[in-house]
Structure 1
Amino acid sequence: MESIQEALKRMPTSNNILNQFEKIKEEVLTDKTIQQFIQANPAIEDAELDRNISRLFEFRNERNNCIRCTSLQSCPNLMKGYEPQLYTERNKILIRYNKCHKKTANDERSRQIELIKSLYVPKEILSASFETLHKDNRSRITAIAKAFEFASTANPGETGNGLYFHGQFGVGKTYIMGAVANLLADRNIASMLVYTPDFFRELKSGIHDGSYIEKLEIVKNAPVLILDDLGAETMSSWIRDDILGVILQHRMLEKLPTLYTSNYDFELLEEHLAYSQKGGVEQLKSKRIMERIRHFAEPVYIEGENRRGSM
């Protein structure tokens, strides 16, 4: 097979086209990454390089797009979310496309959101950061400091200690947890923020088709789990013992941190967990759950006025 350069020489007005080709060839072959590839594959012949200038040009452009990439949504590559990789097969130059880390993370998050619909949270929570948090009273400053310390030092699998934020409705507990999740993400630590009442309802509805088992496994094994609004659910012995108890027991054994927000302090939450829909009172089982929470989560009270819409 003749090279592109040889084919161009036979075309009318070949001089201009040939000059353009030579310019592209020079740009491609002086690219640092392509030079490294050529040096790593000395068996590649010059004729093979000539035949694949357009392929190498495509590789260089798409790789540069990846270097400048700011978000998956703005990816200009022909295959959005995929980055090129040069390789050889029988001394032939080929390109394969692999998922970039942004697409991998996006696909995993999409899978989890699809599987656990209670992960949907307001956009302002997902965009929360410690820089935007209001620090207007002592308890809030303390809570933010403890949250920042946790997000900066958490080491899932090595220590399972977490936090238990409690206070009145609308004081910003969930918003602070959103800032925790984002700082953890900056450290490449995955977290899962679960609105507890919706999650429990979804698990219950998944009993008939067995889907609740997979959902439960994902929550059990999240590197950092944030159970939002614990205590707002309608309690049943199944939720307490077979769901919450199983989650917390597993996370305790695996040293995976769990954080909580609740309108209840420990004493009121223990009372809530003792009651079930059937009207029974099971204080011993409630105490077992609370022991797992108390031992691994530091209680932090947040006072203040309802600040929904302005965190």
Structure 2
Amino acid sequence: MESIQSALKQWTKDQRIEERLESAKKSLLADPVVQKALEGKRINDDILDQGLIKLYEFQKERNNCEQCPGLAACPNMMKGYQPEMIVARRTIDLEYHSCSLKKKEERAKQQRQLIKSLYVPKDILDATFDGLDLDRDREEASRKALAFAVNARPGEDGQGLYFYGRFGVGKTHLMGAVANELRERAIDSYIVYTPDFFREMKQSIGDGTFQEKLDAVKRTQVLILDDIGAETISGWIRDDVLGAILQHRMLEKLPTLFTSNYDYDELEEHLAYSERGGIEELKAKRIMERIKHFTTFVQVEGANRRSR
């Protein structure tokens, strides 16, 4: 392949064009992004001259990535993809791979396809601590939620939170803010509406996705179980789903957060009943011991926000 520079020299003898080309080449090769890509690669002047267009493309795309405006505003030719420079058959070429934001979006899409009950209202997904209504009644709960979000260390510290309060006081909104703050720290979290999740897990036995769904929830870095206690309980849900999730997360030191209209004692009483009418206090107590030991109880007070 004829190099760009040799072709241009045949088209014109204008010394100024040659000087500008040489200046542009020096500027390109002085770019730290380009220098790092070339480091350790066996490239002579001929290969370099023939690959200048690829290098310019690499420089532009990678510098876009260095100043990333977010996935939605990605200016690269292929949104969400970044180039890697390779040398193949004595030629500079580029391979494109998903960037970290694109991979995260793809993971989130796969998660939503796998677990439908991950869906929560948009206003919850968009919740931030800056946008919370921080009245006195919610001050302590907001402070503890923020402290968890900025200090969480999944895999090292499995301590979570248990948010208790009446219907509509903003517990789920706080959890949305926690999830968004964790995302800023590149910590994966699931926020699951518990009644829908348990129904979905029961249905998933028939379509063969039960274990896959269970493993996904067990292993996520931070799990938020919203409105626990609102579900219809059964021994199977309590022991084989909730119990299995909490046991794994306890052993792996993965924090779990809860919201509920029940306090600890009320939830234990709820878990003791099954849909068949039996009472299994010991099994309920075993679940509650895990919850109590690995959460801090936080009462969320205030007026019903939904009635405004």
Q: Give the structure-2-normalised TM-score.
A: 0.92
Provide the residue aligned with 1:282 in structure 2: 280
Pairing partner for 2:293 from 285, 288, 295? 295
Provide the residue aligned with 2:186 in structure 1: 188
Unpaired runs of 5+ residues, structure 1, are none
Contact 1:69 1:75 in 2 (8 A): yes
Pairing partner for 1:223 from 198, 221, 224? 221
Provide the residue aligned with 1:50 in structure 2: 49
Q: Distance in 2 between matches of 1:79 and 1:253?
A: 41
Q: Give a deviation string over 1:193-252, Cα, whole Å, max 9, x none.
A: 111011111111111122011001110111111100001111111111111111111111
Q: Distance in 2 between matches of 1:223 and 1:261?
A: 18
Unpaired runs of 5+ residues, structure 2, are none
Q: Give a deviation string over 1:242-265, Cα, whole Å, max 9, x none.
A: 111111111112121111000111
Q: Give a deviation string over 1:134-165, Cα, whole Å, max 9, x none.
A: 22124x11111111222222222222111111
Provide the residue aligned with 1:62 in structure 2: 61
Q: Distance in 2 between matches of 1:169 and 1:37?
A: 56
Q: Distance in 2 between matches of 1:114 and 1:48?
A: 46
Contact 1:162 1:297 in 2 (8 A): yes
Pairing partner for 1:164 from 162, 166, 185? 162
Contact 1:160 1:252 in 2 (8 A): yes
Structure 1 residues 37 and 298 mapped into 2: Cα distance closer, same or farther (>3 Å)? closer
Counterpart residue identity of residue 145, structure 2: A
Q: Give a deviation string over 1:43-91, Cα, whole Å, max 9, x none.
A: 4221211111111111111112212221112112222211112232454
Structure 1 residues 50 and 200 mapped into 2: Cα distance closer, same or farther (>3 Å)? same
Moved more, 84-93 or 187-196: 84-93
Aligned to 2:78, the other structure's residue is in SS state: coil
Provide the residue aligned with 2:7 in structure 1: 7
Aligned to 1:208, the other structure's residue is in SS state: helix
Provide the residue aligned with 1:111 in structure 2: 110
Provide the residue aligned with 1:143 in structure 2: 141
Pairing partner for 2:152 from 151, 154, 177? 154
Counterpart residue identity of residue 63, structure 1: R
Q: Give a deviation string over 1:259-281, Cα, whole Å, max 9, x none.
A: 10001111111121111211222
Question: What do you get for the CA RMSD once the two structures are aligned?
Answer: 2.2
Q: Distance in 1 between matches of 2:184 and 2:226?
A: 21
Q: Distance in 1 between matches of 2:63 and 2:272?
A: 59
Aligned to 1:80, the other structure's residue is in SS state: coil
Q: Give a deviation string over 1:113-138, Cα, whole Å, max 9, x none.
A: 11111111112212222222222124
Pairing partner for 2:243 from 236, 240, 245? 245
Counterpart residue identity of residue 274, structure 1: A
Moved more, 145-154 or 14-23: 14-23
Q: Give the structure-1-normalised TM-score.
A: 0.91
Q: Give a deviation string over 1:164-217, Cα, whole Å, max 9, x none.
A: 111111100011111111222222221111110111111111111220110011
Structure 1 residues 39 and 245 mapped into 2: Cα distance closer, same or farther (>3 Å)? closer
Aligned to 1:2, the other structure's residue is in SS state: coil
Structure 1 residues 158 and 38 mapped into 2: Cα distance closer, same or farther (>3 Å)? closer
Q: Distance in 1 between matches of 2:289 and 2:71?
A: 43
Moved more, 98-107 or 62-71: 62-71
Return the offset for 1:38: 4.2
Contact 1:24 1:57 in 2 (8 A): no
Structure 1 residues 35 and 136 mapped into 2: Cα distance closer, same or farther (>3 Å)? closer
Return the offset for 1:20: 7.0
Contact 2:128 2:177 in 1 (8 A): yes
Counterpart residue identity of residue 31, structure 2: D
Q: Distance in 2 between matches of 1:170 and 1:129?
A: 18
Return the offset for 1:31: 2.5
Contact 2:150 2:181 in 1 (8 A): yes
Return the offset for 1:24: 4.6
Q: Distance in 1 between matches of 2:40 and 2:136?
A: 61
Counterpart residue identity of residue 57, structure 1: Y
Return the offset for 1:35: 3.5
Q: Distance in 1 between matches of 2:26 and 2:268?
A: 73
Provide the residue aligned with 1:261 in structure 2: 259
Aligned to 2:205, the other structure's residue is in SS state: coil
